[in-house]
Amino acid sequence: MVQVRTVSIRDGLVVGNDSRFTFIGGPCVIESERLLMETAEKVKRITEKLNINFIFKSSFDKANRSSIESFRGLGFEEGLRILEKIKKTYDIPIITDVHESWQCASVAEVVDVLQIPAFLCRQTDLLIAAAKTGRTVNIKKGQFLSPGEMKNVIYKLEEIGHRQILLTERGTSFGYNNLVVDMRSLVEMRKLGYPIVFDATHSVQRPGGLGTATGGDREFVPYLMNAAMAVGIDAIFAETHPNPEKALSDGPNMIPLHELEDILSQALEIKSVIKKKIIE
């Protein structure tokens, strides 16, 4: 497997190469403080049991919902307050989406990783604003881009001296309301020199598939996650929720929280087998 630059999220948490594997996850959007606190506590317990790193994810605003009537979150200030409380209470790093340049500096005061949504991955001002905070930037490859085109995205950050970068594969548009994952993308993007994350839940989305909301095929999450592990990745991104059927965003593709440990355990077994073969 191609060697890449290692990225330090904070003391003791490094992503890339032979570093301890990392799980990035949590509910899609901040629905309530109670739900987020309970989820963060349970996922931390699971990842500690599996001996992997954990970065908690949830969005203070889902700015690209299908319908203007869809739930977007609890707002900028309240969302950051809750994320900061989770960070301090459970001593875990935080990642969240930024959608506009003006958000980056304030968000960086709270979180450890700024995430650039796939639809915005070529927005130059947003990328530069995120990079200027000095925080790690996780860039999701647009559904409309080839893996090789991500070199142009990376170059925008490198031009200002920023190299704390993660690259995430989250599927490619295939006709209307459908995504597919080309596993070659994981290999090709890794050649760009940065750690690769596989987004196992957004990759099974059916964008706009429910008319006024996005659908999804949750049943395929474990299969794609296992395949990505076999190819070789540095981290898994997967949204999880105690009750996806009642989730206010992305319910059809989120992992039920009670299934998360088993799904991750199986994926990690595959990774260990592949690693052993490489060593041999």
Domain ranges of the chain: 7-279
Express each pLDDT in 36-56 by its tens digit.
999 999 999 999 999 999 999
Model confidence band, residue 1 (pLDDT cutoffs 50, 70, 90): confident
Q: Tell which wins on pLDDT, 126 or 280.
A: 126
Q: How far is CA 268 from CA 189, 205, 221, in A?
A: 21, 23, 14
Strand 94-97, strand 7-10: pairing: unpaired
| pLDDT tens string 86-119 | 999 999 999 999 999 999 999 999 999 999 999 9
Residue 66 clears pLDDT 70, i.e. is over it: yes
Report the amino acid identity of residue 65. R
Q: Please state the rounded mean pLDDT for residues 72-92.
A: 96
Average pLDDT of span 146-170: 98
pLDDT at position 29 is 97
Is residue 277 scored above 70 in pLDDT?
Answer: no
| One-letter amino acid for residue 13 of the chain | L
CA 100/CA 152 separation, integer angstroms:
20
The class of domain 7-279 in CATH terms is alpha beta
